[in-house]
């Protein structure tokens, strides 16, 4: 009754008519497409990947500040450009990458020279026999991170010897070793062959939950291959990483370890958050089958046992032999002996 009376009031109808007129005036003056564009921009939906910028755009605008009292960098860097041009036609030489990144210090360490960074991010890259991929990644990742005005360091966790590759264990080693250097806010677990295509994909952790960054890879037609996918590029705070007991040490060879990690996140009472598909674009450097990284035939069995094993297989059971830690010009090289897979393993070459 009351509602009908309110609607019937002439002043209410007048306000309604006024709002309608206002709506049309705004639409007419700004153009409806622009208005909808701003909505979709807020949701980050309208990146045009056919219009790309050079990865080194704006980097020359950085100059060291003359004072020691640096202001905090703005929460979102004003220098971001959006979609980036990524090609793998020429493999850049280390010398060229070095020349293009004059502010990167030994060990692949960077601090913005002109403002005080808000975030400290360590990038951990498991590695073996992928020198060409590494060069592509360094060429693109250094300027990408500098434009985001982060304090960062790139670590390469190199598996020594010829035993089967163990990505997850190398990442555990990377976490332990990198935290000896600095109190990182965020640990990035980064495949060597994945290049981010949009610099609005900020390499910063979610404070509450583990975050998946490579949500849209070209290899999977810029979609998630399946809803729980957690491979490629992900990030956690050191607290989140310890809460899930790190990664399993027992996955030797290709596949399954990322699914195990996704399970651990849930067992620890957390969940995975993701970069929206339109920002989480990544290009993969194409490559042939990896020798020493054959499909892990035990992964199905391991995944079944994951609920029982996650608390005893991880950071709390990590053992390795550190062979060397060298500060290269563009990255810190941690070479490690992670041991070998149990002898009864049967492997099949991945096609
Ligand atoms: C999945 C693999 C992941 C891999 C993705 C994308 C397994 C476990 C099967 C039960 N998982 O199939 O490790 O990252 O494909 O390539 O093989």
Question: What are the mean pLDDT values of the chain's consecutive 10-residue runs (351 residues total)?
Answer: 51 62 44 38 72 90 73 91 96 97 96 94 97 97 97 98 97 98 98 98 98 98 97 98 98 97 98 97 87 93 97 98 98 98 64 38
| Ligand 1 centroid to residue 137 C-alpha, Å | 23
| Ligand 1 centroid to residue 44 C-alpha, Å | 28
What SS3 class is residue 348?
Answer: strand
Neighbours of 18 (CB within 10 A): 10
Q: Specify the ligand 1 atom closest to the Cα of 255.
A: 13
What SS3 class is residue 324?
Answer: strand
- CATH architecture type of domain 21-285+294-340: Alpha-Beta Complex (3.90)
Find out whether the beta carbon of 126 lies less than 6 Å from any atom of ligand 1.
no
Q: Specify the ligand 1 atom closest to the Cα of 303.
A: 10
To 5 degrees, how large is the angle CA 194–CA 277–CA 242? Answer: 65
Q: Give domain limits for the chain.
A: 21-285+294-340
Pure H helices in the chain: 2-8, 10-30, 32-42, 94-100, 131-147, 167-181, 238-243, 257-267, 299-309
Q: Report pLDDT for 9.
A: 63
The strand pairing partners of 234, in sequence order, are 189, 212
Q: What gap in Å lies between CA 321 and CA 187, rounded to an integer?
A: 21
Residue among 341, 348, 349, 350 at smallest CA distance from 250: 341
Question: Residues near 299 by Cβ (< 8 Å), separated by ≥ 6?
Answer: 251, 255, 256, 257, 259
Question: Residues near 163 by Cβ (< 8 Å), separated by ≥ 6?
Answer: 252, 292, 338, 339, 340, 341
Find out whether the beta carbon of 298 lies less than 6 Å from any atom of ligand 1.
no
User: What count of Cα atoms within 13 Å lies in the side-chain half-sphere of residue 264?
Assistant: 28
- Six token digits for residue 231: 């491979």
Q: What gap in Å lies between CA 143 and CA 261, rounded to an integer?
A: 30
- Six token digits for residue 78: 């004003």
Question: Residues near 226 by Cβ (< 8 Å), separated by ≥ 6?
Answer: none
Q: Report pLDDT for 17.
A: 60
Q: What is the DSSP letter of 198?
A: B
Pocket test for ligand 1, best of 259, 295, 297, 348 (most atoms within 8 A of CB): 259
Neighbours of 90 (CB within 10 A): 10
Q: Specify the ligand 1 atom closest to the Cα of 254.
A: 13
Residue among 154, 144, 38, 134 at smallest CA distance from 91: 134
Helix, strand, coil distribution of the chain in percent, nearest 5:
35, 20, 50
Q: What is the DSSP letter of 82?
A: S
Q: What gap in Å lies between CA 197 and CA 185, rounded to an integer?
A: 23
Question: Residues near 173 by Cβ (< 8 Å), separated by ≥ 6?
Answer: 157, 318, 320, 322, 334, 336, 338
Residue among 341, 188, 190, 213 at smallest CA distance from 280: 213
Q: Report pLDDT for 41.
A: 43
| Ligand 1 centroid to residue 231 C-alpha, Å | 8
Q: Report pLDDT for 287.
A: 77
Q: Report pLDDT for 76.
A: 87
Q: Are 274 and 215 in contact (CB under 8 A)?
A: yes
- pTM: predicted TM-score of the whole model, two decimal places: 0.85
Q: Are 279 and 198 in contact (CB under 8 A)?
A: yes
| Ligand 1 centroid to residue 163 C-alpha, Å | 21
Q: What gap in Å lies between CA 141 and CA 282, rounded to an integer?
A: 12
What SS3 class is residue 8?
Answer: helix
Q: What gap in Å lies between CA 194 and CA 226, rounded to an integer?
A: 18
Q: What gap in Å lies between CA 278 and CA 300, rounded to an integer?
A: 32
In the chain, what is the straight-line distance between the N-terminal and C-terminal CA atoms, in Å? 72
Nearest CA to ligand 1 atom 11: 256
| Ligand 1 centroid to residue 258 C-alpha, Å | 7
Pocket test for ligand 1, best of 126, 228, 253, 255 (most atoms within 8 A of CB): 255
């Amino acid at each position: 009754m009351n509602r009908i009376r309110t609607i019937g009031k002439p002043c209410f109808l007048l306000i309604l008519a006024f709002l309608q007129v206002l709506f049309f005036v705004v639409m007419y003056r700004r153009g409806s497409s622009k208005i909808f564009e701003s909505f979709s921009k807020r949701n980050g939906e309208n990146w045009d990947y056919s219009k790309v910028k050079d990865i080194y755009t704006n980097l020359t605008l950085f100059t060291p500040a003359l004072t020691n009292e640096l202001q905090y960098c703005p929460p979102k860097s004003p220098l971001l450009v959006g979609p980036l041009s990524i090609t793998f036609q020429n493999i850049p030489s280390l010398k060229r990458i070095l020349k293009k990144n004059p502010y990167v210090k030994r060990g692949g360490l960077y601090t913005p020279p002109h403002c005080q960074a808000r975030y400290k991010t360590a990038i951990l890259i498991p590695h073996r026999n992928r020198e060409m991929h590494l060069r592509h990644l360094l060429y693109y990742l250094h300027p990408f991170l500098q434009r985001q005005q982060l304090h960062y360091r790139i670590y390469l966790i190199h598996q020594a010897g010829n035993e089967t590759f163990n990505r997850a264990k190398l990442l555990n080693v990377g976490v332990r070793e990198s935290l000896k250097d600095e109190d990182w806010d965020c640990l990035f677990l980064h495949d060597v062959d994945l290049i981010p295509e949009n610099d609005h994909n900020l390499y910063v952790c979610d404070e509450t939950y583990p975050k998946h960054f490579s949500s849209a890879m070209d290899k999977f037609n810029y979609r998630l291959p399946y809803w729980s996918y957690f491979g490629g590029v992900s990030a956690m705070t050191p607290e989140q990483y310890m809460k899930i007991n790190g990664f399993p040490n027992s996955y030797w060879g290709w596949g399954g370890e990322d699914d195990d990690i996704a399970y651990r996140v849930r067992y620890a009472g957390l969940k995975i958050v993701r970069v929206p598909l339109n920002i989480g674009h990544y290009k993969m450097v194409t490559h042939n089958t990896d020798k020493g990284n054959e499909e892990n035939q035990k992964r199905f069995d391991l995944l079944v046992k994951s609920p029982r094993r996650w608390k005893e297989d991880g950071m709390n059971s990590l053992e390795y032999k550190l062979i060397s830690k060298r500060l290269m010009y563009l990255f810190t090289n941690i070479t490690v002996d992670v041991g070998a897979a149990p002898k009864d393993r049967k492997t099949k070459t991945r096609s």
